[in-house]
Chain A
Amino acid sequence: MLINRSSGALAGWAIALFSAILIVLLFLKMAPQNAPWTFAINIPDTPVRGPLEPSADVLTPTGEHRFVHAASAVETSDGVLAFWYRALYEGAANAEIVSARFDGARWSKPRIVTDSARVSGDIGMTVKSLANPVPFRRSDKEIWLFFAASRLSGWATCEIEMVRSLDNGETWGPVERIYASPFFNLSHLTKSTPFLFADGRIGLPVYQEMNRKFPVLLVLNPQGKVVDRRRIGGGGKVGYQPMIVPTGPSTAIAFVRRLRHASPHKILMSRTDDGGKSWTPPAPIDLPNPSGPISAIRYDASHILMAFNDDPETERNITLALTDLEVKTFRRVGVIARMDNTLKKANVAYPFLISSAPGQYDVVYSRPLGTINHVRVSSAWIEHGAQSLAAQQ
């Protein structure tokens, strides 16, 4: 009896001691990092060169009968690698994420990166549809591809997944879950380009879809695990699909797509001046938005290049514009795609802009009922367009 009581007490003390050690380790692990967040700033070299005419082509094969949408792209050593998703209709089961390669002259045939069945197998639960692939160049050979997977039905039941390629997109590894929410890991989606922090962490702009729609910045460690999450603005019914462009070591702009029924019909913008830890509430700027996503990159030391739908009601065109780093002045440089008014639902949607070489810019976009399209423009075209439009004004 005495032995039992003393061994019980001993066990109690052992548990208490073990708990104390774990709690100390927990405090050490969760100690706040007081180091400032800083963006990796890469000011591109922008020589004025290249043809004065854009070149345009179609990535999807002739007679593509599936719904194709949300194209994105990443530069490769010999061209561009584009991604998009296709399914019987938007949100349909058995969707595929596909890629195609551009060598400067023509696009390769689309290849399947992954599909609903493979994602289901890799994460151990059935997913319905896939959407919004966004690539991130991790190194010269390594590409990470983030995308959204709907687990039940509808985009509100999405979680974010990632696949890695160690050979520049030739082959892809197993799907990994990006854990971003405590509520069954629902409901976040991707749309825009990830970026690097100076310490090697990765910023992944995403958005919350269920209940409220607001933009979110996920911070991933170099292994690809979410280690922080910040709302762009406080939250609420705000806007979605943020596009973040770092403008300085601790400053960045987030362009935000407005909600469909929200006014005014303008692009929203949020700012950070503490490396992304906190963001101002998204506010309208002086550019129209039909509730379409915005794509933007750093153009040179003092400008951002944007691709957007320059219309308050419909995704009627895709326009490129230059803005200063404070996003106070805008110079439209030209329209690169227009809606075909003779067709129903022939809107030009979801532009995704990259710089594939110094002075060379590629935009991929969708006409969702059939084609993924590509336009290449040069810095010469951009400068010429900016000057011409300025002269007209």
Chain B
Amino acid sequence: MTADIHSLLNDASTALIIFTASAAIASFFTKSFAARVVAGVVVVFVALLVPISTRSLFEWTVSTVGRLSLPGLVLLVTLAVSATTGRRIARSAEFRFAALVLAVAGLVLYPAATGFLNYDTYMLGYSGYLLPSTIALTTAYAIFRGYRVMTVVLNVAIAAFLLGIGESRNFWDYIIDPVAWIIGCGTWLALAAGFLLAPIVKPAKVLATAQPSSGIGETPISH
């Protein structure tokens, strides 16, 4: 039973990653919601069937990624919705803030915890007030700005940690995972690139014929 749950959660994480990436790529070629969903589903099945050495691509991904954290899962679901529907989530201040928090948190955690620095920041997730204080401030800001989804996700992550659900007893593992970090960094790199390229792209747009855009997201979810 426990093994089945582990397997289900691991497989679901990988399926979501492959689906989202495929739907996002498909969004460059089609505006159709159905076509993007089909592309995502087809690639998941292809990943299940294509063997690389002794395992399928899907199994390799499961063995690499394991299981996402709750914030990572919510972020990926949001991206999946964006990739299939074309909603432009980067226009959401809540999404941008969540991505920024994950990008900064990952930058604090991963280089140090994997040995690039001689101080182990992963220890902060076992005990001490620094990480809870940071999360308290983040939650307070999310409440203040009315970021309901982010507040709820943080609350559920804290509750899961308090109840000891999950294999880790380290608070970091309930609020971030490397996939979420990559998405957070990717989002802000894309935003930064967009900001830097805007002066170059805008004059070109003036000359171009107005066309409905396609690709990841045109319609903001909020804000």
Contacts and interface: CB of A to CB of B under 8 A. Distances in A.
The answer on A and B forming one complex is yes
Nearest to B167: A179
Given A29-B162, A123-B6, A183-B110, A15 B143 contact: yes
Interface in A2-25: 12, 15-16, 18-19, 22-23, 25
Given A15-B152, A23-B139, A125-B10, A31 B115 contact: no
Nearest to A219: B126
Nearest to A185: B66
Contacts of A124: 3-11, 62
A236 to B, nearest CB: 6
Contact of B115 (A125, A182, A235): A235
Contacts of B59: 125-126
Contact of B123 (A174, A185, A214, A229): A229
Interface residues on A, range: 35 or more
Contacts of A121: 3
Contacts of A230: 120, 123
Contacts of A25: 158, 162
A235 B123 CA distance: 13
A184 B178 contact: yes
Contact of A235 (B11, B64, B118, B128): B118
Contacts of B6: 122-125
A318 to B, nearest CB: 31
A226 B168 CA distance: 7
Contacts of B159: 22
A93 interface: yes
Interface string A203-238: 000001011101000000100011111110011100
Contacts of B122: 181-182, 229
Given A15-B151, A123-B6, A226 B114 contact: no
Contact of A33 (B127, B132, B152, B172): B127
A391 interface: no
Interface in A119-140: 121-127
Contacts of A210: 114-115
Contacts of A226: 168-170
Contacts of A225: 167-169
B115 A16 contact: no
Contacts of B113: 181-183
Interface string A107-127: 000000000000001111111
B54 interface: yes
Nearest to A152: B63
A348 B113 CA distance: 35
Interface string B134-158: 0110011001001010011011001
22 contacts: A12-B146, A19-B140, A19-B151, A19-B155, A25-B158, A30-B126, A32-B127, A121-B3, A124-B9, A125-B7, A126-B55, A126-B59, A126-B63, A152-B64, A182-B173, A183-B178, A184-B66, A184-B178, A185-B66, A226-B170, A231-B118, A235-B120
Interface of B: 2-11, 54-55, 59-60, 62-66, 109-110, 113-120, 122-123, 125-129, 131-132, 135-136, 139-140, 143, 146, 148, 151-152, 154-155, 158-159, 161-162, 167-173, 176-178
Given A125-B7, A182-B110, A182-B172, 6 more contacts: A29-B161, A31-B127, A126-B62, A212-B115, A234-B119, A235-B117
The list of the 5 closest CB pairs from A to B, nearest first, reads A124-B6, A124-B7, A212-B115, A234-B118, A179-B168
